[in-house]
């Protein structure tokens, strides 16, 4: 018969490592999973928030310090004085905003990667995942301070991770399902759809093979009758 030009759909990932590998792999539409996109979005948001958190107070403080420091200085006009004060504030905004931005971005990204990885590996989302992610991230950020810093970072990260995880769990409860449950449901529905299409195509192929065999067998039967 004619060879089948398509294969059975790949089974759903069964182990934690298989689910982790799929987390960083593009699908048939060349898109990453929603969890991965959320990690990137949260990193960008954390960077903006960190920049504003560090930059705005520095801008106000530097502008105020420049005004206090510039008493008695001569400027061409009022606009020149205002622009000079703004430039001083802007330099501080960029300098201190960047310092906070990359730190907050790194902390949020590591926290989300670890918590998402634990949820995917364990195939369930619990507060313990967020507590462990917070403890790991806090310890990583404070380990350069020695054992005391390591312990302090672990405690701080755990204290941060538990309420953050609790808030996310409440949001998941309002949504009706977690990202992991949604991902599993969509993956299962897609697999069942592909499996049904494969079985349908396989049935059609078998019918065509049978029809081709019957067509090839008829001339032989007619020649045998003539003999």
pTM above 0.75, yes or no: no
Is residue 219 in a domain?
A: yes
What's the pLDDT score for residue 76?
56
Q: Which domain holds residue 190?
A: 179-226
Phi and psi of 167, rounded to 5°? -65, -40
| Closest among 172, 139, 134, 185 to 38, alpha carbons compared | 172
Digitized pLDDT (tens) for each residue of the chain, 227 residues in all: 444 445 777 777 778 788 888 888 877 777 788 888 889 999 999 999 999 999 999 888 888 887 777 665 545 556 666 777 788 889 889 999 999 999 999 999 999 999 989 988 888 888 899 999 999 999 998 888 888 888 999 999 999 889 988 888 888 777 777 777 777 787 788 878 888 887 787 777 666 666 666 565 555 555 545 55
| Cβ proximity of 153 and 141 under 8 Å | yes
Looking at residue 154, its pLDDT comes to: 92
> Could you tell me if residue 221 is inside a domain?
yes
User: What pLDDT score was predicted for residue 108?
Assistant: 92
d(CA 160, CA 79) in angstroms, rounded, equals 46
Residue 214 lies in a domain: yes
Q: Name the token pair of 77.
A: 């006009």
Asked if residues 100 and 50 have their Cβ atoms less than 8 Å apart, the reply is: yes
Q: What pLDDT score does 201 carry?
A: 78
Let me know if residue 199 belongs to a domain.
yes
Q: What is the DSSP letter of 75?
A: -
- Provide the domain count of the chain: 1
- Supply the pLDDT for residue 53: 92
HSE toward the beta carbon, residue 114, CA cutoff 13 A: 22
DSSP letters spanning 97-146: HHHHHHHHHHHHHHHHHHHHHHHHHHTS--HHHHHHHHHHHHHHHHGGGH
How far apart are alpha carbons 102 and 35 in whole angstroms?
21
Contact indicator for 12, 191 with CB cutoff of 8 Å: yes
Question: Within 13 A of 120's CA, how many CA atoms are on the CB side?
Answer: 20
Instruction: Determine the Cα–Cα distance for residues 159 and 152; give it in Å rounded to an integer.
Output: 11
Residue 208 in any domain: the answer is: yes
Which residue in this structure is represented by tokens 């502008």?
A: 63
CA distance 94 to 92: 5
- CA-to-CA dists, residue 67 to 29, 59, 70, 79, angstroms: 56, 12, 5, 13
Q: Is residue 127 part of a domain?
A: no
Q: Is residue 76, in this structure, part of any structural domain at all?
A: no
Residue 91's Cβ-count burial label (10 Å; 0-12, 13-18, 19+) is middle
């Amino acid at each position: 018969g004619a060879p089948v030009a398509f294969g059975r759909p790949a089974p759903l990932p069964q182990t934690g490592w298989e689910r982790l590998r799929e987390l960083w792999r593009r699908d048939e539409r060349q898109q990453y999973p929603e969890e991965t996109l959320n990690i990137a979005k949260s990193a960008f948001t954390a960077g903006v928030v960190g920049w504003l958190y560090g930059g705005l107070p520095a801008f106000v403080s530097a502008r105020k310090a420049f005004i206090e420091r510039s008493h008695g200085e001569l400027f061409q006009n009022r606009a020149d004085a205002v622009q000079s004060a703004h430039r001083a504030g802007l330099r501080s905004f960029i300098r201190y905003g960047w310092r906070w931005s990359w730190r907050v971005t790194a902390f949020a990204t590591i926290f989300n990667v670890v918590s998402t990885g634990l949820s995917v590996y364990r195939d369930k989302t619990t507060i313990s995942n967020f507590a462990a992610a917070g403890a790991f991230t806090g310890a990583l950020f404070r380990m350069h301070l020695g054992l005391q810093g390591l312990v302090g970072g672990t405690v701080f990260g755990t204290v941060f991770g538990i309420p953050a995880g609790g808030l996310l769990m409440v949001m998941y409860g309002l949504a009706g399902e977690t990202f992991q449950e949604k991902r599993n449901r969509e993956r299962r529905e897609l697999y069942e759809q592909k499996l049904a299409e494969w079985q349908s195509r396989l049935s059609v192929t078998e019918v065509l093979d049978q029809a081709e065999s019957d067509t090839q067998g008829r001339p032989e039967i007619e020649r045998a009758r003539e003999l």
